Amino acid sequence: MTALAGSLCAVLAVTALGPFLLWPRTRAGALGVLMAGARRLTALEWIRRSFFFGDRFPEHYEVSGRKILRHLVYRSGTGLLCTLVIGLLGFGVVLAGLLVRGTVQGSLRWDELLTQVVLGSVLLFLDVQGLRSLVALDARLARECFGPSEQELLHRRIDELADSRAAVVQAVDAERRRIERDLHDGIQQRLVALAMLLGRARRGRDPEQADALLLQAHQESRDVLAELREVAWRVYPSALDSLGLEEALGGVSERCGIPVRTEFDVPGPLPRPLETAAYFVVSESVTNAAKHSDATAVSVSVVLDDSTLMVRIQDNGKGGANPAGIGLSGLRSRVDALDGTLYIDSPEGGPTVVTAELPCA
């Protein structure tokens, strides 16, 4: 009925403004008045859908004039069809009444009664299905007009996936460069120093000096091994595969130079990509806190809340973390790739709080 009322208003408006629409000098003004009326009609429909059907549409969604006119035209068609279907339903009710009266008066034979009942049931089924389809079509038209259409949502999703993929590729490339830098500037230089110490020990003629050089070489080899293990954990921790996320986070706490208090409340196993992302969020945040924030304590919370894994890292440092830095931007890319969200709150003076929400479904 509202569609028919809207159609009637549109027809009256077009009829009244017809001469002005045809005259070039008044066409622009008439079109403005026509579009203003069309926008009011669609605004009433927006309110009706929200009030009676509980539909929720974006508050600040810009609807183009072309989309509004298309919505009115389509709704006019559905309104006419709905009137026809309701009319058929009323006609069926009248026929059912006549059938009942004929049955009571005994003017119908049983085979005629059976035929009428079967035919009426089929028509009633088709009529109800038609009404349901029209109601669904009306709701879809409202979504197309008042909110992002399915095509727009699909385009947005494609854009998000393209951005996410580019960010992940960039983050992986940055991580690769950092690992190469660590291997070249750190471990490689230490191995060269170790080789030089061993060479001097071999060439030395003084046993005491040789023992001192061997002792220094032994300490250097332990430092190299520790640094190599650190780099390996930053690439991918083997404990994540063998022991799970909780044990891997325990390794992060043990390697950290400041106390780390960890709360882990995840009842069951998680998907591997989710565990990997959660691990790197904690590892990178704890490492940043230990290296750059002057913090004396870090708290880590990993909690599965309904279908979302909440990862929260807070330190008591000086704050001022740069969300656009390589490390944090890489974390954001990892989280975005899983349709998650990363929040970074790090005011000057601290504290720094990094929160990742990772959907499990």
Express each pLDDT in 304-317 by its tens digit: 988 889 999 999 88
How long a stretch of residues is the chain?
361
Provide the token pair at 41: 């009609």
Contact 350, 317 (CB under 8 A): yes
Q: What is the pTM of this model?
A: 0.58
Express each pLDDT in 66-102 by its tens digit: 778 787 888 878 888 888 888 888 888 888 888 888 8
Confidence of residue 4 (pLDDT cuts 50, 70, 90): low
Q: Which of 143, 147, 141 is nearest to 58 (CA)?
A: 147
Crossing angle between the packed helical segments 207-235 and 150-182, to the nearest 10 degrees: 180
Per-residue pLDDT, 361: 67
355 three-state secondary structure: strand
Backbone torsions φ then ψ of 270, nearest 5 degrees: -110, 160
Pairwise CA distance, residues 327 & 333, whole Å: 10
